[in-house]
């Protein structure tokens, strides 16, 4: 099959379609910068989707749990050994993604006789000032999209979703609504609204336009009765070197604005 | 990257590997070789370099250490930090060779974090106590060669179903001993143990009933007494204003007592 270049391209295209279908149902994840850190939010029913990787790095993921687990453990292993042999300050998300995870995911994707990673990853790394924060997304084919690596103006948020349409709408919404200097409760509301509309935008018949705020909130409250909010923050001013903190469900529900 | 992460291996399953094992797989941590032949009969010599103590009081566990590091008769350093924070609720205090001890503390700190991050749950107190024991056992080959002796104290707060402060001391082979009241190791420890034993049995109050200020006063008196007869213990350097390092483990976490506070108690109750 792959002796002929055309066949290889075709095989890759089929594989891409297959993975996109597999990922399409994944519940979105929103990561937004707020006054004192970075917040990750999603709503989960079945399993944990937001994880601590190292002192200043967190990860959200959608995809097959087996693949997510392998990538997560690889990231923890790389960060931990680097932090141990050098120092915690030498652990960098940029290097973790560019030199370790992306090449592995790319080659797994392109070796058509092997299994690809059915996973999409969203990382954030908190710096000593908002200017040093980094948001970074790695797709199943190893493609990286980052906010904070180039000279471009920063958005200070990033999203992950099962479908392209859903992710684009979430970004559009956050470009309008996201305030980088917001307090945590406000950030929770914005991020969860983004999640809600990302969820609404999934499926065949979903609208391509931004829905009204009322519709977003109504959908959000419906979903809240069925699942638990999962959220974690990377705190900038924490006394401890470990910046990752899981937020309790009650703290989250009481923060949400009607 | 020298060796790719285990998790990326196609045949990978489970994550039973602990952090020291991961370091060994990557060639970043050596187990000390057991001595062979003639060195097998090498007499076990305790490197005497310091004094550390810990006891339970009303506010948790107090851990204190003097600041002196010595090599033979030479004072190498008078600001050594022998009371080390391992995680939010655990302290390891070290008597012995700092090079080995600091490395152990580093491995231990990363072990606990690595476990929590990879397994998505906090390591149990028993697991943490055992982890240090294994590191000491791995180091025993060096101890038998007469280098790298470490005799630590481990204090932690068990936040599980029955919350309480826990205190352990170790021998150089890795045996752990849980204590109910107090522990002391290092060259000045006989004097310290004498004082703590006396205070606990015939003092005004039992150690566990002391408030923070009383506890600090006793810790300072004990270290000062140890330094009186032991050149390896710095005690309280009255001219240089160098005070012992004192940390407290409680349910809320670890507090490092500020120097001014220690100086105040010292002035009032010790000097």
At A23-53, the pLDDT tens digits run 998 999 999 999 999 999 999 877 899 999 9
Do B215 and B62 touch, CB atoms closer than 8 A? yes
Q: Which pLDDT does position A208 carry in this prediction?
A: 80
- Residue B19 sits at the chain A interface (C-beta within 8 Å): yes
pLDDT, average across residues A197-215: 85
Burial of A88 (0-12, 13-18, 19+ CB in 10 A): middle
Q: Which pLDDT does position B230 carry in this prediction?
A: 85
Q: Report the distance separating Cα B134 and Cα B139, nearest Å.
A: 9
Q: Which pLDDT does position A79 carry in this prediction?
A: 96
Is it the case that residue A217 has pLDDT exceeding 80? yes
Closest residue of A to B107, CA-based? A84
The pLDDT tens digits of the residues spanning B160-195 come to: 878 899 999 999 899 999 999 999 998 889 999 999
* Neighbouring C-alpha atoms within 13 Å toward the C-beta of A48: 13
Residue among B11, B113, B122, B135 with most chain A CBs within 10 A, to mutate: B113
Which residues of chain A make contact with B116, given a CB cutoff of 8 A?
A: 52
- Residue B256 sits at the chain A interface (C-beta within 8 Å): no
Q: Which pLDDT does position B3 carry in this prediction?
A: 62
- Residue B26 sits at the chain A interface (C-beta within 8 Å): yes
Q: Which pLDDT does position B41 carry in this prediction?
A: 54
- B94 strand-pairing partners: B152
**Contacts (Cβ under 8 Å, ≥6 apart) of B197:** B182
**Contacts (Cβ under 8 Å, ≥6 apart) of B116:** A52, B122, B123
Q: Which pLDDT does position B1 carry in this prediction?
A: 46
The pLDDT tens digits of the residues spanning A50-81 come to: 999 999 999 999 999 999 999 999 999 999 99
Burial of B51 (0-12, 13-18, 19+ CB in 10 A): buried
> What number of C-beta contacts closer than 8 Å exist between A and B?
59
Q: Which pLDDT does position B201 carry in this prediction?
A: 95
Which residues of chain B make contact with A81, given a CB cutoff of 8 A?
A: 22-23, 26, 28
CA distance A214 to chain B (A): 37
Q: Which pLDDT does position B215 carry in this prediction?
A: 96
- Residue B106 sits at the chain A interface (C-beta within 8 Å): yes
Q: Which pLDDT does position B13 carry in this prediction?
A: 56
Secondary structure letter of residue A151 according to DSSP: S
- Residue B46 sits at the chain A interface (C-beta within 8 Å): no
**Across the interface, which of B6, B88, B114 has its CB nearest the CB of A80?**
B114
CA distance A100 to chain B (A): 8
Q: Which pLDDT does position B79 carry in this prediction?
A: 86
Q: Is residue B145 part of a domain?
A: yes
Q: What class does CATH assign to A5-255?
A: alpha beta
Give the pLDDT band (50/70/90) at residue B35: low
Which residues of chain B make contact with A78, given a CB cutoff of 8 A?
A: 1, 5
- Residue A65 sits at the chain B interface (C-beta within 8 Å): no
* Vertex A119 angle, CA A244 and B119, to 5°: 45
Q: Which pLDDT does position B167 carry in this prediction?
A: 96
Q: Report the distance separating Cα A110 and Cα B90, nearest Å.
A: 47
**Across the interface, which of B5, B15, B117 has its CB nearest the CB of A52?**
B117
Which residues of chain A make contact with B22, given a CB cutoff of 8 A?
A: 77, 80-81
Q: Which pLDDT does position B14 carry in this prediction?
A: 54
Is it the case that residue B45 has pLDDT exceeding 60? no
Which residues of chain A make contact with B2, given a CB cutoff of 8 A?
A: none
Average pLDDT, chain A: 91
Provide the pairing of β-strand B253-256 with B164-170.
unpaired
Q: Which pLDDT does position B47 carry in this prediction?
A: 46
Secondary structure letter of residue A88 according to DSSP: G
Look up the pTM and report it: 0.89
Give the pLDDT band (50/70/90) at residue A1: low
Q: Which pLDDT does position B32 carry in this prediction?
A: 74
Is it the case that residue B265 has pLDDT exceeding 80? yes
Q: In terms of pLDDT, which residue wins out, A204 or B268? A: B268
Q: Is residue B32 part of a domain?
A: no
B-contacting residues of A 90-149, CB under 8 Å?
Answer: 99-100, 104, 114-115
Q: How far is CA B81 from CA A78, B144, B242, B246, B269, in A?
A: 29, 26, 12, 10, 24
Is it the case that residue B118 has pLDDT exceeding 80? yes
- B10 and A115: CB-CB below 8 Å? yes
Q: What ranges in B17-152 are assigned the alpha helix state H?
A: 19-25, 98-119, 125-138, 140-144
Do A154 and A148 touch, CB atoms closer than 8 A? yes
**Contacts (Cβ under 8 Å, ≥6 apart) of A220:** A192, A193, A195, A196, A256
Is it the case that residue A222 has pLDDT exceeding 70? yes
The structural domain count of chain B equals 1
Measured between its terminal Cα atoms, the distance across chain B in Å is 56
- Residue A159 sits at the chain B interface (C-beta within 8 Å): no
- Sequence length of chain B is 271
- Residue A48 sits at the chain B interface (C-beta within 8 Å): yes
What CATH number is associated with residue B206? 3.60.20.10
Q: Is residue B39 part of a domain?
A: no
Which residues of chain A make contact with B6, given a CB cutoff of 8 A?
A: 73-74, 77
Q: Which pLDDT does position B37 carry in this prediction?
A: 55
Q: In terms of pLDDT, which residue wins out, B30 or B208? A: B208
Q: Report the distance separating Cα A158 and Cα A39, nearest Å.
A: 10
- B15 and A73: CB-CB below 8 Å? yes
pLDDT, average across residues B197-201: 96
Do B61 and B255 touch, CB atoms closer than 8 A? no
The pLDDT tens digits of the residues spanning A176-193 come to: 999 999 999 999 999 999
Reported ipTM: 0.91
The pLDDT tens digits of the residues spanning A117-175 come to: 999 999 999 999 998 999 999 999 999 999 988 877 888 999 999 999 999 999 999 99
Q: Is residue B183 part of a domain?
A: yes
Q: Which pLDDT does position B221 carry in this prediction?
A: 94
Q: Hey, which residues of B are catalytic here?
A: 50
Q: Is residue B24 part of a domain?
A: no
Measured between its terminal Cα atoms, the distance across chain A in Å is 56
- Residue B22 sits at the chain A interface (C-beta within 8 Å): yes
Q: Is residue B9 part of a domain?
A: no
Q: In terms of pLDDT, which residue wins out, B5 or A71? A: A71
Q: Is residue B36 part of a domain?
A: no
Is it the case that residue B46 has pLDDT exceeding 50? no
> Residue B66 belongs to what domain range?
45-270
- A77 and B116: CB-CB below 8 Å? no
Average pLDDT, chain B: 87
Closest residue of B to A100, CA-based? B1
Is it the case that residue B115 has pLDDT exceeding 50? yes
Give the pLDDT band (50/70/90) at residue B74: confident
């Amino acid at each position: 099959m792959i002796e002929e270049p055309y066949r290889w391209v075709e095989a890759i295209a089929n594989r891409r379609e297959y993975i996109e279908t597999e990922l399409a149902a994944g519940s979105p994840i929103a990561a937004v910068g707020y006054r004192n850190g970075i917040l990750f939010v999603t709503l989960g029913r079945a399993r944990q989707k937001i994880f601590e990787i190292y002192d200043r790095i967190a990860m959200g993921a959608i995809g097959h749990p087996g693949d997510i687990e392998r990538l997560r453990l690889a990231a923890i292993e790389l960060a931990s050994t680097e932090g141990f042999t050098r120092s915690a300050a030498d652990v960098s998300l940029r290097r973790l993604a560019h030199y370790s995870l992306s090449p592995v995911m790319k080659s797994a994707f392109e070796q058509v006789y092997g299994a690809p990673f059915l996973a999409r990853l969203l990382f954030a790394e908190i710096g000593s000032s908002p200017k040093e924060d980094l948001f970074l997304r790695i797709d199943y084919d190893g493609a990286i999209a980052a906010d904070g690596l180039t000279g471009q103006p920063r958005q200070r948020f990033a999203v992950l979703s099962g479908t392209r349409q859903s992710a684009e709408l979430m970004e559009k919404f956050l470009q309008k609504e996201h305030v980088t200097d917001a307090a945590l409760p406000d950030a929770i509301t914005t991020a969860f609204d983004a999640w809600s509309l990302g969820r609404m935008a999934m499926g065949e018949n979903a609208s391509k336009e931004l829905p009204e705020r009322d519709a977003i909130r109504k959908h959000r409250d419906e979903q809240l009765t069925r699942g638990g909010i999962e959220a974690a923050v990377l705190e900038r001013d924490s006394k401890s070197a470990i910046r990752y903190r899981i937020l309790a469900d009650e703290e989250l529900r009481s923060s949400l604005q009607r | 990257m020298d060796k790719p992460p285990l998790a990326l291996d196609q045949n990978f399953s489970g994550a039973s590997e602990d952090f020291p094992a991961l370091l060994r797989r990557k060639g970043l941590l050596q187990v000390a070789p057991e001595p062979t032949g003639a060195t097998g009969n090498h007499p076990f010599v305790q490197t005497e370099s310091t004094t550390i103590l810990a006891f339970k009081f009303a506010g948790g566990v107090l851990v204190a250490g003097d600041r002196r590091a010595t090599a033979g008769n030479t004072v190498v350093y008078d600001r050594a930090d022998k009371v080390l924070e391992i995680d939010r609720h655990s302290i390891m205090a070290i008597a012995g060779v700092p090079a080995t001890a600091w490395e152990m503390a580093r491995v231990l700190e990363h072990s606990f974090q690595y476990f929590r991050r990879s397994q998505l749950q906090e390591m149990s107190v028993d697991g943490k106590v055992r982890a240090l024991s294994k590191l000491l056992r791995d180091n025993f080959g060096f101890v038998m060669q007469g280098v790298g002796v470490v005799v630590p104290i481990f204090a932690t707060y068990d936040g599980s179903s029955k919350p309480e402060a826990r205190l352990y001391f170790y021998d150089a082979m890795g045996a752990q001993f849980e204590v109910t009241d107090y522990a002391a190791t290092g060259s000045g420890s006989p004097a310290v143990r004498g004082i703590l034993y006396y205070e606990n049995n015939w003092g005004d109050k039992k150690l566990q009933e002391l408030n923070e200020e009383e506890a600090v006063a006793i810790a300072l008196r004990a270290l000062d007494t140890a330094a009186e007869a032991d050149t390896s213990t710095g005690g309280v350097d009255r001219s240089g204003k160098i005070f012992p390092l004192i940390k407290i483990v409680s349910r809320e976490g670890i507090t490092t007592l500020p120097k001014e506070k220690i100086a105040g108690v010292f002035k009032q109750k010790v000097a």
